[in-house]
Structure 1
């Protein structure tokens, strides 16, 4: 038999006799992709053979059926190989998971049986019910713990994205989307619309000069929509910007990392995170790279190789959260994020991002161009000038020198900060004697002091 020559693996196991390990392997296969147990074969694949009587096979099947829950009944056949009888027991992937043997849950990984963790058991149970953790009622929180204003904000986003309108109250809309079950909010509802501090959604982000020297940081425990915006803003604050002066009123500018790629990573972190894990998500910004780490590995046995080659069927750990983000227009298409991130980085001439499973979590690393890589790039047209890696104040002064009547709103838009931040920097520049206002607020202009 060809399978015997290939040896033991993900879907095959050799046993010399029928024993409890056979039942454990049957259960492991049932909780994975199915497989066959060959009885009468040793570990090396040598044919030993088994002696059978007319009741042997039925007795073995009964033992398997009685020891497993839900009951598993394998297909059983015999074969004559090298003049000896062997038994082949085959089990398909079981539709109702997880299957247990004497209250123990096992799953096949590579060529061995592994005891399933509590998370793996819970995941298999949820997948069987075509559900996910965020659909379940949150017994620790109630309607007082979520914000009606935040629900209304999400409704406005949905109405704009889908070009529709709701006549329902915010709570009625929660019911329609499955965010309330049995008059109790779900984990998804709490995470999406938490009123104040949310202990489940902790995220730490920092700007580092060295692995131990942190110069700025932010700690978030809020609703998921707010976290997307605040994380993106924090990262953007620490990016260098390149301005290309073309003579046009609005100058082209580019950050040293593609903003759309960063936002895509942040969205993926928040939507696909395992919120049952008590660890925080972490973002670290270094001089030469950015690291994004999420607790909880890839979902549903997805491998990194499948992820980066786009060779997988898109599934999500948090179906309710993912659905709401899609309804609000924050996610365009399930399963397209990694390809989009890779393309955005490639289009900007950056190294390919690294995607890896690490420390029981998932990590993405983006790399900045080195100085050498930057200087070797073709320059813009000779009539263009480039202003690179300036502080906010220097960027403001450069823009004002190009257009002395530029407004605070225009400065904020071109630099990528808030109008309030521009107002604060103007006050500092005036105090330092580097900037002077001539004329009225509406009809006047700026003068840069050399």
Structure 2
């Protein structure tokens, strides 16, 4: 072992603040904490190891309600402790706060992330919760009819043409003896905004920056209505159709591939945090950007989205209905499909990042990606930063510049500079390391970044 990871943490000595790390491991996938090792995993020894071995089990039990296995180890005559924490099936808190281990970072769960975590630990998700104020009168019959038609074409459900709205909702697990689920209203509601105020999509047309707003629209309705309504707004009002000719044939296509736009919007509608803010779609002269509330699942990272990965839906009921209706697949291929559509249209790969408590997906015109950095935003990036910007986007390029100027900075310090989460910065760093432009020298604390000019 030569580095800390999702499941391993090294500490020189014990401090009661490390109960947060134990709490984080228990709430996540479990892990091991070694007391008496430096940041490179070398044994430094632990004074009064036997006394700590006697005291820690009671302290951990009293503070966290856990009984981890604690082993006294020895290497080259130096004693150290190994604390083995198993993943807990119930939420574990420390003095009323909940912690989670993500990558090599411990983070406190708050707000919507905490609500999602508690629901998950109870074996539930937000879309499964019953909306007690809703009745079958709140269900839109026209959307039910549309879904039946789409599902028949997809062939992923048996014949449902003869089912009533109530029977169909029961079959899709959206209606129980206790009432309608949140998913039922998001998918088929006449007015989901009556129950959830931020279910709408806001579209804005900007110039080259976020200050230069030209006009905007708001689309409201259930998920299927939003999908249709937003795509219509984009095609009719917000995007242009450049004209080209193949031989004598006149061809008009949107400036961005429709399959990529549709997949972006579907991903946002299916996987968003419906307790958060509205979906925001920004159309600029040289790019289109979509933000939806809710960070990636803790098991995923931006980097993993571009690799083969399993589907981890935030709203499994909503995702399952959309799959049965033929709107999405169930294999975690959304980003792959967006990327393929962009490549087929001659556009760069989509830019994806976690930002402001949500996920941003951005499509860039080919002409914009070919401009120099100074033409884009006036920032004086070097040649390497220019390449990073083109391959990974502007935010990883900014992180690279900070590393170049401050090689001693940790991920947490870079996060403070860019107003990002440490997890997002770790994703950027992983890309930079994979690209071969930075190398870590020395331990996590006290080490530095070497930039490969």
Q: Normalization by structure 2: what TM-score? A: 0.72
Q: Give 3-state SS (helix, strand or coil) of 2:131's partner.
A: coil
Distance 1:337 1:271 in 2: 11
CA–CA distance in structure 1, aligned partners of residues 66 and 99 of structure 2? 14
Moved more, 350-359 or 136-145: 136-145
Note the residue ranges of structure 2 that are not aligned, 5 or more in a row. Answer: 371-453
**CA separation of 1:332 and 1:28: change in aligned 2, threshold 3 A:** closer
Q: Which residue number corresponds to residue 231 of structure 1? A: 230
Q: Is the 8 A contact 2:348 2:369 kept in 1?
A: no
Aligned to 1:258: 257
| Alignment gaps of 5+ in structure 1 | 374-450
Instruction: Deviation per CA, 1:139-196: give whole Å up to 9, x if none.
Output: 3433332223322322232233227422332112111211123331111111112213
Deviations 1:379-434 (A, max 9, x none): xxxxxxxxxxxxxxxxxxxxxxxxxxxxxxxxxxxxxxxxxxxxxxxxxxxxxxxx
Q: Residue 50 of structure 2 corresponds to which residue in structure 1?
A: 52
Q: Please give the residue correspondences for 1:416-435 in structure 2 after superposition, counting only pairs within 5 Å.
A: none
Task: Work out which of the two has the higher radius of gyration on C-alpha atoms and give 1 or 2.
Answer: 1
Going from structure 1 to structure 2, the CA distance change for 1:72 and 1:371 (only over 3 Å counts) comes to closer
Q: Note if contact 1:131-1:319 (Cα within 8 Å) is conserved in structure 2.
A: no
Superposed counterparts of 1:93-242, under 5 Å? 93-94=87-88, 96-109=89-102, 111-162=104-155, 164-166=158-160, 167-196=162-191, 198=193, 199-210=197-208, 211-237=210-236, 238-242=239-243
Q: Could you tell me how far apart the structure 1 residues matched to 2:359 and 2:187 are?
A: 22
- Give the equivalent residue in structure 1 for 2:285: 287
Residue 267 (str. 1) matches residue 263 (str. 2): no
- How far did residue 311 of structure 1 move? 4.1
Find the residue that maps to 1:27 and give its secondary structure: helix
**Structure 1 segment 279-318 matched on structure 2, within 5 A:** 279-308=277-306, 310-318=307-315
Say whether 1:31 aligns with 2:27. yes
Question: How many residues were matched structurally?
Answer: 361
Q: Output one character per residue of 1:23-61: Cα deviation in whole Å (capped at 9) or x when no partner.
A: 3322121123322223345778622332426xx746532
Paired position in structure 1 for 2:77: 83
Residue 265 of structure 1: CA displacement? Answer: 0.8
What displacement does 1:356 show?
1.2
Spell out, residue by residue over 1:280-328, the C-alpha distance to the aligned partner (whole angstroms, 9 max, x if none): 21111122111111122212342111112x1432211011111111111
Q: Distance in 1 between matches of 2:68 and 2:245?
A: 69
Across the aligned residues of Structure 1 and Structure 2, the Cα RMSD in angstroms comes to 2.9
For residues 269 and 254 of structure 1, what CA distance do their matches in structure 2 show? Answer: 24
Asked if structure 2 preserves the Cα contact closer than 8 Å seen for 1:40 and 1:50, the reply is no
Decide whether the 8 Å contact of 2:310 with 2:331 is kept in 1.
no
Q: Is the 8 A contact 1:13 1:25 kept in 2?
A: no
Q: Which residue of 2 aligns with 1:392?
A: none
**Structure 1-normalised TM-score?**
0.72
Q: 1:218 to 1:112 in 2, by over 3 A?
A: closer
